[in-house]
Amino acid sequence: MRWKSLAFASLFVMPLSACGSPSDEDILTEAKIQASQSAPALPDVQLSENPEPPPAPPPPVEEPPLNELDSSAENEVLPAGVPGTIPPAFQALWGVIPSDCRPGDVTGNAIMITGDQILSADSIGSLRGVLGDYPGRFEGRFAFDDAAEASEQLVLSGGRNVLVRTSGGQQTTYRRCGAGRPTG
């Protein structure tokens, strides 16, 4: 048994003797302490509570031009749009009441929509640019007889037999002539 305890004790003694004494690099001397104390001081850095930059100021709001009566001008500048035509689904004679759908000239409240015009008894609007062309909805910039330009929106519903026209902030509902009786 003595033999076993001696062998067991030698297992711990041999690794400790292999470690040896500390090297010269590991010994802390007075010169090393002074060298570490004379290191340059780091500048004080103040951290912000919000590291994000401040938001950009909003763009300046342009005032609309004033007309002779010192009130805002009524006409907005319309976007130019892109070249194009009014889709065939919108091209037809449209009426508000049954008498609008008489053959011949456009009379009463009827409108005739072609590939590039909206014709009524009062005026002719020529397409100047397409602002939006979507299934069942068309938006365009039109120039009318009186040289005023306006944005027109045309929306189809009711199996493409009902047209809602929005012009100058007013909506008018039409029914396709020849597709049943117009409502009014």
Mean pLDDT check: name the lowest of 26-35, 108-117, 125-134: 26-35
What are the extents of the domains in the chain? 89-176
In the predicted structure, residue 164 carries a pLDDT above the cut 60: yes
pLDDT tens-place string over residues 41-98: 666 666 656 556 566 666 676 665 554 444 444 445 557 778 899 999 999 999 999 8
pLDDT (0 to 100) of residue 31: 77
List b or e across 27-65, with b for residues whose CB sees 16 or more CB atoms inside 10 angstroms: eeeeeeeeeeeeeeeeeeeeeeeeeeeeeeeeeeeeeee
* pLDDT one-digit tens code per residue, 101-110: 988 888 899 9
pTM of the model: 0.55
**Phi/psi of residue 151, each to 5°?**
-90, 135
